[in-house]
Structure formats: structure tokens, C-alpha cells
Amino acid sequence: MTMKVEVVSTETVKPSSPTPSHLRDFKICLLDQLAPPFWVPVILFYSASNNEVAANSASVTGNLKTSLSQALSLFYPLGGRIKGNSAIDCNDQGALYLEAKARFELSEVLLNPDINQLQQFLPFSSDKVVPNIEEQVIVGVQANFFDCGGIGIGICMSHKIADAASVSAFLTAWSKIALNGINGKAKVITPFLKASELFPPKDVNFQMPRRFTSREKLFTKRFRFDGESLARLRARFGSATPTRVEAVTALIWKSAVEAARKRPEWNEKYPSSVATHVVNIRSRMRPQPLPEHALGNLWQTTIAPLIDTNKGVELQDFAGSLRKSIRAIDDEYLSVLQGERGLTKAYESLTAARKLAESSAGKMESYGFSSWVKFPFYEVDLGLGRPTWVCTTGFPIGNMVFLMGTRCEDGIEAWITLPEHDMIEFERNDELLQFISLSLCS
């Protein structure tokens, strides 16, 4: 059955207090300048059983808009408009706020989520380039009211100023305000807004490279790993126990390569494989780590060394290659990134996979990973209780994987996009199937 969502109202929510004139011109950092012109999307679903006010949409809407307005006053750049590729005009024009009716049950979404259906719970389509970026709002929110009383809150934030950690920080602050007010008992943390002092903007006048896109039909599916299966998976590695994210990444990478090897042209065209992984650099900064509520694109893309897929490659080999690449984002790397060679270093990070492809005459298969596992999305209570389910629609690009946390905290959900042939074989992988979970937690 087709699930249709109808937008019934559209308005702009402005910051509750004006931005002081001396803060109006907000400099974005070098890493923001290099960020892609996409939206960062998150959808939080709240079951009717989680809250007593779900049936009263007017009450919910009033609290959401009031608290959103107050949160925007703290994260004041988000209420402005992007100005070129170097600054934000903090003019308090505000965020887009949509209200929509979902004429079906929330359970229909939770039982069989489809990435194409999920897009309609968002104010913008997350897989589209942001047009006329200087004219666009930076934040869009869509409150979706289901027939059963459940609620879905979809938020999109411009990638030119925010990464997933930034969206998480904003949602956390919005949550605390919604529950307690901006001057309530729960202390609302003021965001760190000085990334441009650490990574000064440069004269960036070139187009950033995009990931390779496939001409084949793509399929995006969700795969779930519970705490018990992850413990078993990590035990496979013996004394060199990887993190949950490293273990799942290695398993997915290996399984995807094995699926791709069953293509007729594999041996001639793709004898090797490489993986990229997005690394949050906040905790890696020295001498003082940055707080998780630091606003900006504070991440780097690391590239795992090539794997020769024609050799007998074990799970440990994939994990070892991945760990080595992640650990390369160290003090020395970040010191260069902050210095005069910062632009060159950042550009090298973003173009590494393409350069490898060119040096190998295109004879490799590239996979991209991004982990949002540690972000506390399931703590976001906007007066509706804890979310029943949180997801991202990501960017449906071939060979791309997004990892999300779960409500019971110890599991991982993987949203994986592969070409049709590869997805069919991927789902049959015996090693992968040993660790896939049918359910995570209630």
C-alpha cells in the first residue's frame, strides 16, 4: 500500500531573541567550505504510547515551535542564510516549519521501512543538491502526525554548516528546551561556534569531487545487528578486538566484495577494493578535544589501503586495513590540517579514492562508510517521550553505507546501497547471515 504524507501548513520559525549585531557575520570554517551542498537528514518517530499529548496536535505543535525558536537563538547561525562560500548572514530569518498528516499507522513504517517512502517525512529531499543555496533556509523541520497518534519529526540541516554530530547537538538542545524551557532545570549547553578559528577559511574556488555514481539500478536496504550478534562478531577477531563499528564495517565490506566478485566481469575489471570512512575529529583534537556540540563539518574522510580481492582475504584483513586508516587521523594529521597546508590536506582526503582509481586504471571497487552510531538521537525527547525509531535517509549513492545506533543502545542498523546484482548476492552471504538480527529491541 502506498503511504502518502500531505503537508497541511508551512511557516517560518524565527529565533526567540535577535542575534546581536556584532555576531551577524558568522565565518564558516575551511571544512565547511569543502562540504557538499546537500542536506543532512534525520527522522525521529514517536509512538502514541510514548506520550499522552500525541492526539492534541495543536498542543504538540505549539511546544515544538516555541522550543525550536528558543533553540535557534542559541544556535544563531542556523537561523540565518548562507552568504557565498565563506560566511553566514545571521539575519534571524529563521527555519522552515511544516506540519503534515500521514493518513496511515506509524506501525506500517516501523514494520517495513522503505528509504523512498521515508523521504516524504522530511521537509527537503536529502538526495538532491541544494539549489540557490544562498536563498535557502539552513534548517527545515517537518512534524508528521499519524492517524494512530504517533508523530514523526523530520529535520534537514544544510551540510554547508553542519554534519551529523551538529544535527545531534542541535536536537539535544532543542529536546532539553522542549522539556524544561530555555531557563529550566536542565542545563542547556551553549554550542561551540569557533571552528573557523581552528580551521580558518581559505580562498576555495573549485568544485569538490563527488562519489562515483552507478548507472545500474540501485537498491537500499536496512540490515540490523543486535548486541549479542555484535559480541559474537567481535569475538571472531581474537585478541585484536575491534570496535563495534569497525567489526560491522569489516563484515559489510567483505560481504559486499564477495557479492561483487560474482559479476562476470569482476576479475578483469575490479581486482581490488578500497573503503573510505568518515571520521569525527572532535575528540581527536589536541591539546584540547572539542566538545561534541561544536558546530561545523568537523570530520575527515580516511581511506583504507587496497585489498587484493583475488587473494584469500579474511575478515581480520579488512578490519586491520580499516583500523590503520582511521588511526592515521592523528595529532600530526590534524596539525597540518590547521596550518597553511590545511586546504591541500583536506582536499587530499576528499580526492584520495578518486586518485587511487585513476592510478589503478579504474580497476577497483570503492565502498563508503559513515557512522552515526554514537550520536544520542534516542535521547531526544521533545515532550513526546523517547523515540521509538530514529533513521537517516542518507544519500542513495552506490556502494554507500550509513550506520545508525538503536534504541536499546548496543545494536547497529546499517543502511546499505548496492547495485541490484550485488544486493541479491549480498543478502545471500552465509557469513553475513550469521550476524543479522530479525529484531533489535522493543
Active-site positions read 159, 381
Span between the terminal Cα atoms of the chain, in Å: 25
Residues in CB range of 376: below 8 A, 6 or more apart: 168, 172
Question: In the 3-class helix/strand/coil scheme, how is the chain assigned residue by residue?
Answer: CCCCEEEEEEEEECCCCCCCHHHCEEECCHHHHCCCCCEEEEEEEECHHHCCCCCCHHHHHHHHHHHHHHHHHHCHHHHCEEECCCEEECCCCCEEEEEEEECCCHHHHHHCCCHHHHHHHCCCCCCCCCCCHHHCCCEEEEEEEECCCCEEEEEEEECCCCCHHHHHHHHHHHHHHHHHCCCCCCCCCCCECCHHHHCCCCCCCCCCCCCCCCCCCEEEEEEEECHHHHHHHHHCCCCCCCCHHHHHHHHHHHHHHHHHCCCCCHHHHCCEEEEEEEEECHHHCCCCCCCCCECCCCEEEEEEEEEECCCCCCHHHHHHHHHHHHHCCCHHHHHHHHCCCHHHHHHHHHHHHHHHHHHCCCCEEEEEEEECCCCCHHHCCCCCCCCCEEECCCCCCCCEEEEEECCCCCCEEEEEEEEHHHHHHHCCCHHHHCCCCCCCCC
